[in-house]
């Protein structure tokens, strides 16, 4: 009987602890942010893993661990979208639809219309988008 309980515990940990195995498990479903960037079209669609919430931003990352900040509130006093952040699980992949707003370089924010194409792919910058909609990516099969 103890053996069966141990097996159930191990299966529970493997199935529901997505933060340990999410990157390896979902890697074939994820995008690379730099490869999906389109400067002509400001509406972006990407498949990324959710990391955390920071102030008014949802932080996502791609298979190369590059982070992208997706704004879900207008400011810290905007409480109408407060419930959105409860829908996200750390380590879970999501298909996000967002509008590109600009980049952070250090402490400076550079809006999208001020960016030049040649200096757009800077490794030290963080991409900022505004969330339009999102859907979780569900996998039909689980491989052990």
Residue-range domain boundaries for the chain: 23-136
- pLDDT at res. 46: 92
Residue 143 has pLDDT above 70, yes or no: no
Which pLDDT does position 17 carry in this prediction? 55
In whole angstroms, give the CA distance from residue 22 to residue 99.
26
**Quick one: residue 24, left, alpha or beta (phi over 0 = left, psi -120 to 50 = alpha)?**
alpha
Q: Alpha helices, DSSP H only, in 17-110?
A: 18-26, 33-36
So what's the pLDDT on residue 80? Answer: 76
pLDDT at site 94: 92
**pLDDT for the residue 16:** 57
Does 119 score more than 80 pLDDT? no
93 vs 11, residue with greater confidence: 93
Cα(105)–Cα(107) distance, rounded to whole angstroms?
A: 6
Per-residue pLDDT of 13-71, as tens digits, reads 665 554 444 455 666 778 888 787 777 788 889 999 999 999 899 999 998 888 999 99
Q: Are 90 and 54 in contact (CB under 8 A)?
A: no
Tokens representing 74 are 């207008």
Give the tens place of pLDDT for each residue, 45-61. Answer: 999 999 999 989 999 99
What architecture (CATH level 2) is domain 23-136? Beta Barrel (2.40)
Q: Read off the pTM.
A: 0.73
């Amino acid at each position: 009987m103890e053996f069966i309980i141990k097996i159930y515990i191990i299966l529970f940990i493997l199935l529901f602890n997505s933060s340990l195995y999410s990157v390896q498990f979902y890697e074939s479903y994820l995008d690379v942010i730099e490869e999906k960037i389109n400067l002509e079209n400001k509406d972006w669609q990407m498949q990324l893993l959710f990391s955390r919430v920071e102030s008014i931003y949802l932080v996502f990352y791609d298979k190369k661990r590059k982070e992208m900040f997706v704004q879900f509130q207008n400011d810290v006093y905007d409480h109408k979208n407060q419930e959105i952040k409860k829908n996200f699980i750390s380590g879970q992949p999501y298909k996000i639809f967002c509008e590109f707003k600009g980049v952070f370089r250090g402490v400076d924010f550079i809006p999208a219309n001020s960016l030049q194409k040649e200096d757009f792919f800077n490794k030290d910058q963080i991409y900022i988008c505004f969330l339009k909609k999102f859907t979780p990516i569900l996998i039909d099969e689980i491989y052990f």
